[in-house]
């Protein structure tokens, strides 16, 4: 009670199920009461919320302390269903890159399993990096939700839902950076394996077709891996194509860069919020304008058209993310040098994955 007294005067304490309720009067603003007392309760395994309740005579304020639950309750059917759907869509997307015909025999879909496994491994390692560090810092988080979409990608990535409050900037940095850093390791491994495998034979009817084709950009990380392994990133012979695992690695790099945009509750938003504190919101507010401006410059001065649509779409998306704001840690203690270095390394990884125009449509 003495710990609460400076910001909240308690007149009654009672239990309501698994919660402890403190009835009383705030001695500071609601945000100050929560920011001062939330860490105290967090250390004892409780989440805290200040609320107003109507009484017989006048509204009363209560502090509600709810025991924090970490872990999985029951079978996560939604996660399982989305993961299964993403297996199917990435298998189908893989048939495009392997040039597998599934019309005659639908079971040919299974021949694209290396591509599907590579994509799911990259995304899974990324999201479980977040999940494991969330558990280490005792922050409640869901298992990954995979997002299935049609080819050529087969997936729009994966997310985990943070249900608990972040205790400190240190925890926020660890949770935000662990996903991209773990995911980029998986991406590098998949890409190197793909570069070492023999190219895929392209049917001559496809190689000589006049139909539109997609040409993918080569981020610095992909070029560096090709140089280190001594492998080409293209072939003069149109009947040869890079192994689909290289494309899986390319997709992992694109997802890494987009996740590291420093806005809202994207990984980059978490990392910058941990590094810069509340000043992160100033940077986040500028990100949509930068993306719209970048798309406009490419449209006016670059040899592109619909390809810049990705930056317009992400301009809209980041506008919404900036509006809802970043995750706010309970403690604003600055980071030590080690974690500052980790944060900067994380953004360096994102820079190595950047592509001004990720793909071009060649007619």
Mean pLDDT value across residues 250-278: 94
**How many CA atoms within 13 Å lie on the side-chain side of 357?**
18
pLDDT of residue 55: 58
Instruction: Give mean pLDDT, residues 242-268.
Output: 95
Contacts of 80 (CB under 8 A, 6+ apart): none
Among 49-58, 156-165, 212-221, 292-301, the range scoring the smallest mean pLDDT is: 49-58
The mean of the pLDDT values for the chain is 88
Contact 22, 60 (CB under 8 A): no
pLDDT at 41: 84
Choose among 197, 335, 174, 326: nearest CA to 261: 326
pLDDT score recorded for residue 307: 81
Q: Residue 24: which pLDDT band, with cuts at 50, 70 and 90?
A: confident
Average confidence (pLDDT) over 286-301: 92
Flag whether pLDDT at 352 surpasses 80. yes
Q: What is the mean pLDDT of residues 304-316?
A: 88
Better pLDDT: 3 or 113: 113
Q: Which residue has the higher pLDDT, 152 or 54?
A: 152
Report d(CA 316, CA 322) in Å as an integer. Answer: 10
Using an 8 Å Cβ cutoff, are 82 and 147 in contact?
Answer: yes
Confidence of residue 289 (pLDDT cuts 50, 70, 90): very high
Confidence tier at 273 by pLDDT (50, 70, 90): very high
Name the more confident of 321 and 72: 321
Report whether pLDDT(58) > 60.
Answer: no
Q: Do 182 and 129 form a contact (C-beta atoms < 8 A)?
A: yes
Is residue 10 scored above 70 in pLDDT? Answer: yes
**Rounded average pLDDT over 73-80:** 83
When mean pLDDT is compared over 57-61, 252-256, 321-325, the highest value belongs to: 252-256
pLDDT class of 212 with cuts at 50, 70, 90 = low
Distance of CA 348 to the CA centre of its chain: 16
Q: Is the CA virtual torsion 28, 33, 36, 37 positive or negative?
A: positive
| Bigger pLDDT: 250 vs 300 | 250
Q: What is the pLDDT of residue 25?
A: 85
HEC string of the chain equals CCCCCCCEEEEEEEEECCEEEEEEEECCCHHHHHHHHHHHHHCCCEEEEEEEECCCCCCEEEEEEEECCCCCCCCCHHHHHHHHHHHHHHHHHHHHHHCCCCCCCHHHHHHHHHHHHHHHHHHHHHHHHHHHHHHHCCCCECCCEEEECCCCCCEEEEECCECCCCCEHHHHHHHHHHHHHHHHHHHHHHHHHHHHCCCEECCHHHHCCCCCEEEECCCHHHHHHHHHHCCCCCCCCCCEECCHHHHHHHHHHHHHHHHCCCCCCCHHHHHHHHHHHHHHHHHHHHHHHHHHHHHHHHHHHCCCCHHHHHHHHHHHHHHHHHHHCCCCCCECCCCCHHHHHHHHHHHHHHHHCCCCCCEEEEC
**Which pLDDT value is given to residue 335?**
92
Q: Kindly state the percentage of the chain with pLDDT values over 90.
A: 50
Distances (CA, A) of 355 to 204, 234, 254, 319: 30, 17, 8, 21
| C-alpha to C-alpha distances, 150 to 78, 94, 255, nearest whole angstrom | 19, 11, 16
pLDDT score at 210: 67
Q: In the structure, what pLDDT confidence band is assigned to residue 171 with cuts at 50, 70 and 90?
A: very high
Residues 6+ apart with CB under 8 A from 138: 68, 70, 164, 167
Provide the residue ranges of all domains of the chain, joining segments of one domain with +: 8-67, 77-362
Q: pLDDT-derived band of residue 26, with 50, 70 and 90 as boundaries?
A: confident
Cβ–Cβ < 8 Å for 99, 203:
yes
Rounded Cα distance, 115 and 198, in Å: 14
Query: Would you say residue 310 has pLDDT above 80?
Result: yes
Q: Which pLDDT does position 218 carry in this prediction?
A: 93
Crossing angle of helices 244-259/169-196, nearest 10°? 160
Average pLDDT over residues 204-224: 82
Confidence of residue 54 (pLDDT cuts 50, 70, 90): low
Higher per-residue pLDDT: 51 or 187: 187
Q: Is the pLDDT of residue 196 over 90?
A: yes
pTM of the model: 0.85
What mean pLDDT do residues 5-33 have?
84
Phi, psi of 22 (to 5 degrees): -110, 115
Residue 158 near residue 147 (C-beta atoms within 8 A): yes
Over the stretch 114-138, which tens digit does the pLDDT of each residue have? 999 999 999 999 999 999 999 898 8
Q: In angstroms, how far is the first alpha carbon of the chain from the final one?
A: 72
Distance between CA 261 and CA 48 in Å, rounded?
31
């Amino acid at each position: 009670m003495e710990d609460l007294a400076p910001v909240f005067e308690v007149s009654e304490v009672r239990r309501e199920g698994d919660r402890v309720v403190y009835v009383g009067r705030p001695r500071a603003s609601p945000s100050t009461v929560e920011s001062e007392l939330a860490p105290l309760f967090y250390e004892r395994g409780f989440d805290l919320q200040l609320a107003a309740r109507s009484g017989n005579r006048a509204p009363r304020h209560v502090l509600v302390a709810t025991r924090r639950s970490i872990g999985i309750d029951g079978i996560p059917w939604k996660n399982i269903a989305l993961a299964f759907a993403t297996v199917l869509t990435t298998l189908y997307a893989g048939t495009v890159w392997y040039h597998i015909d599934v019309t005659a025999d639908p079971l040919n879909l299974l021949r694209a399993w290396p591509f599907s496994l590579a994509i799911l491994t990259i995304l899974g390692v990324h999201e479980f990096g977040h999940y494991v560090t969330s558990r280490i810092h005792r922050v409640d988080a869901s298992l990954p939700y995979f997002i299935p979409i049609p080819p050529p990608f087969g997936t729009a990535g994966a997310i985990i839902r943070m249900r608990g409050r972040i205790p400190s900037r240190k925890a926020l940095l660890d949770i935000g950076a662990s996903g991209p850093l773990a995911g980029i390791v998986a991406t590098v491994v998949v890409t190197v394996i793909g570069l070492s495998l023999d190219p895929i034979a392209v049917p001559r009817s496809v190689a000589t077709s006049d139909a539109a084709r997609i040409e993918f950009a080569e981020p610095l990380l992909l070029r560096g891996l090709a140089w280190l392994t001594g492998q080409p990133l293209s072939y003069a012979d149109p009947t040869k194509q890079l192994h689909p695992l290289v494309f899986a690695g390319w997709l992992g790099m694109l997802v890494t860069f987009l996740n590291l945009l420093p806005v809202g509750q994207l990984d980059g938003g978490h990392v910058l919020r941990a590094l810069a504190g509340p000043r992160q919101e100033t940077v986040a507010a500028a990100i949509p304008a930068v993306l719209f401006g970048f798309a406009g410059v490419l449209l006016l001065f670059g040899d592109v058209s619909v390809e810049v649509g990705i930056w317009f779409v992400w301009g809209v998306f980041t506008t919404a993310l900036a509006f809802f704001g970043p995750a706010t840690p309970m403690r604003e203690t600055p980071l030590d040098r080690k974690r500052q270095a980790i944060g900067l390394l994380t953004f360096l990884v994102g820079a190595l994955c950047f592509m001004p125009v990720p793909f071009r449509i060649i007619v």
